[in-house]
Amino acid sequence: MMHRRGNEASLRYEARRQREDESPRLHAEVPTLESLKLEIEERRGNASNPETTYIRRIVVESAPALFALVCGERDCEDGGHDITYAVMAGLRRGSTKFEGEDVCHGSVRTTTCGRVLHYKATATYRP
């Protein structure tokens, strides 16, 4: 069982890596973008306190224009948080600060995962 899960995780990682490699580059999509920081909080469904918090600093020069984050629930299958559309919309508007949420639609055993990711983006642009 553990070997099978390892293979599934490896396949998911490879698929994600291929998707990143095939995505347009962030600097090409938003040429004036200088820096981007995402503050991430993740919590279970309707819990008020986040279980996980971290900051992701994006290397604009080499990053893909793809913001697909894995679900923090260890047992979640086929879940995750694709916030690409919302983040790119904020960047294309030239917003320096914006935020949003995404709910995981993966499954944990027989139920929907429902883990909630909240992000705050801070961006700077060249004149």
Q: What is the pLDDT of residue 1?
A: 47
Q: What is the pLDDT of residue 22?
A: 79
- pTM listed for this prediction: 0.85
- pLDDT tens digits, residue range 49-83? 888 999 999 999 999 999 999 999 989 998 999 99
Q: What is the pLDDT of residue 58?
A: 97
Token couple for 66: 């793809």
The CA distance from 125 to 127, in Å, is: 6
Please provide the DSSP assignment of 11-77 as one string.
Answer: HHHHHHHHHHHHSPBHHHHSTTEEEEEEEEEEE-TT-SS-SEEEEEEE-TTT-BS--EE--S-TT-B
The CA distance from 44 to 14, in Å, is: 27
Candidate from 4-8, 53-57, 76-80, 116-120 with smallest mean pLDDT = 4-8
Work out the percent of the chain whose per-residue pLDDT is above 90: 73
- pLDDT tens digits, residue range 27-48? 999 999 999 999 999 998 888 8
**CB-based contact 125:33 (threshold 8 Å):** yes
**CB-based contact 90:122 (threshold 8 Å):** no
Domains identified in the chain, total number: 1
**CB-based contact 49:79 (threshold 8 Å):** no
Q: Which residues span the domain enclosing 89? A: 2-125
Q: What is the dihedral of CA 79, 76, 44, 66, to 10 degrees?
A: -30
